[in-house]
Structure 1
Amino acid sequence: MVEKPSQPHRNPATPVAEKATLRRELLAARRSLSPEARRAAALALSRTALELPELADAQTVAAYVSVGGEPGTRELLDALRAAGKRVLLPLLLPDNDLDWAVYEGPDSLAEAAHPGKIRLLEPAGPPLGPDAVTGADAVLLPGLAVDRRGMRLGRGGGSYDRVLERLERAGARPALVVLLHDEEVVARVPEEPHDHPVQAVATPSGVIRFRAVPPTASA
């Protein structure tokens, strides 16, 4: 009897590979949005986010300037500043970590070129140091998706993983809120042991809150 060759063993996709696939899909969807759709989403997102009590009660908010197909944050930044909030914005460091500076209005932003990376708008004020984020009452996080457990999928650069680790080391407990398009709230995102759940996601259509749960040990 001739034995049939054994079938190659197929390992299930790792969280890293699953994340890469999902990122490609989500980024393609963002690129397909028209300028009009992006503008409408940004205005609606600003209204939604401002209704969050975590932002209403905050004195200091760590935020970011949106780029590319990210849900627009410029209106929200100005609204937070107009409400008397101290708004911190990131400065990308050569090792992908983040420093922070105070947002002083649209004219205080300058285009920063980082070799091999997308051009960013960054605050022109004096850097406060990476630990400045630990004094924030709320941190607005960029992302590509959040699932129904509150697990966030970032772009993969690791900058905000470092921010979250820094907050944890310092014992800081700011509200963590991700800003997304409506369709980027998904059933599940792949997770790894270093991933952190968030408390809420704000989209143009509203806010979804989560109960914080630790990532699974097997992820």
Structure 2
Amino acid sequence: MASTKSQARAAILAVRRSLSEQTQERESTLLARHLAALIRPGTTVCAHIPVGSEPGSLAIVDDIAGRAGSVLLPVARESDDGTPLPLQWGRYVPGKLVAAPYGLREPEPPWLPPETVATADVVLVPALAVDRAGSRLGRGAGFYDRTLALVNPAALVIAVVRDDELVDHLPSEPHDVPMTHALTPGRGLVTLASRR
């Protein structure tokens, strides 16, 4: 893995952009199978709608919504000075998403405050990579870093990555909130040696 976060991001994004549509669909199908075994009725899940070549699909979120008690999606906004704010949350209703900043899709208002993440049993976190100690490499904006400190300590905090994006070591910083698990297409749910 590259020695700096910016080098690692560039390398991973280059690989993701090179993936065929068939590979992305196959991996998405495998992720859906693993999540079907994980999500129980009554579970509250914080999920996300993948953007571009991120692992997963809208169909996976629809499937989770059919299994879970509640699905919450992130709402990313910045303060007036451009500082990323902790994520707000919107209740997912299939077919009711709107365009949002950063190329995202999100539920329509009303939105729930950042502290709502503490109600989740499972938090699915987009990631470019995660290491075996739970360090996650995100895109660098800081929305999740500002939010994950609010998660219930008993929740599963799962980085959703491709198989080769689960690595031995990543550079990390003190503010990085560790993941408890990784979810990959080929390996399924992998327990990490999290510092949580």
Report the Cα distance in structure 2 between the residues aligned to 1:50 and 1:194, rounded to whole angstroms.
32
The alignment status of 1:183 with 2:171, answered yes or no, reads: no
Instruction: Calculate the aligned-residue CA RMSD, in Å.
Output: 1.9
Query: What is the aligned partner in structure 1 of residue 147 from structure 2?
Result: 163
Report the Cα distance in structure 2 between the residues aligned to 1:49 and 1:83, rounded to whole angstroms.
10
Report the Cα distance in structure 2 between the residues aligned to 1:203 and 1:49, rounded to whole angstroms.
10
Q: Which runs of 5+ in 2 are unaligned?
A: none
Q: CA 1:20–1:58 in 2, change beyond 3 Å: closer, same or farther?
A: farther
**Shift of residue 109, structure 1, vs aligned partner:** 0.8
Report the Cα distance in structure 2 between the residues aligned to 1:49 and 1:188, rounded to whole angstroms.
25
What secondary structure does 1:195 align onto?
Answer: coil
Deviations 1:125-181 (A, max 9, x none): 4211222111111111111001122211111010000111233xxx65321011111
Greater than 3 Å deviation, 4+ residue runs:
none
Report the Cα distance in structure 1 between the residues aligned to 2:73 and 2:148, rounded to whole angstroms.
15
**Shift of residue 58, structure 1, vs aligned partner:** 5.7
Q: Which runs of 5+ in 1 are unaligned?
A: 1-14, 215-219
Which entry has the higher C-alpha Rg, 1 or 2?
A: 1
The alignment status of 1:44 with 2:49, answered yes or no, reads: no
Query: What is the aligned partner in structure 1 of residue 180 from structure 2?
Result: 199
- Which amino acid is the alignment partner of residue 46 of structure 1? A
Deviations 1:3-34 (A, max 9, x none): xxxxxxxxxxxx9x711110110011111111
- The partner residue of 1:66 within 45, 50, 57 is 50
TM-score normalized by the length of structure 1: 0.80
Query: What is the aligned partner in structure 2 of residue 34 from structure 1?
Result: 20
**What aligned pairs does 1:119-130 form with structure 2 within 5 A after superposition?**
119-130=103-114
**Shift of residue 213, structure 1, vs aligned partner:** 2.2
- The partner residue of 1:108 within 89, 92, 96 is 96
Deviations 1:76-131 (A, max 9, x none): 211111114200001111232211110011x111112x3xxx31111124211222
Whether the 8 Å CA contact 2:41–2:67 is kept in 1: the answer is no
Q: Percent identity?
A: 37
Whether the 8 Å CA contact 1:45–1:202 is kept in 2: the answer is yes
Q: CA 1:191–1:32 in 2, change beyond 3 Å: closer, same or farther?
A: same
**Shift of residue 51, structure 1, vs aligned partner:** 2.2
